[in-house]
Copies of this chain bind each other. A is one copy, B any other.
Amino acid sequence: MGRWEPDAAGRLRAAALELFLERGYEQTTVADIAERAGVTARTFFRHFADKREVLFAGGGVLEAQLVTALDAVPASAAPLTAAGRALEAVADLLADREFSRRRQVVIAANAELRERELIKLAAWSSSLADGLRRRGVAEPAARLAAETAVAVFRVAFERWVAEDEQAGLAELVRDSLAELGRLTRRTTSRR
Contact = CB atoms under 8 A, between A and B. Distances in A.
A81 interface: yes
Contact count band on A: 35 or more
Interface string A141-167: 101110110111011001100000000
Total copies of this chain within the assembly: 2
A119 interface: yes
Contacts of A114: 119, 122
Contacts of A155: 140, 143-144, 147
Interface of A: 77-81, 84, 114-115, 118-119, 122, 140-141, 143-145, 147-148, 150-152, 154-155, 158-159, 174, 176-181, 183-191
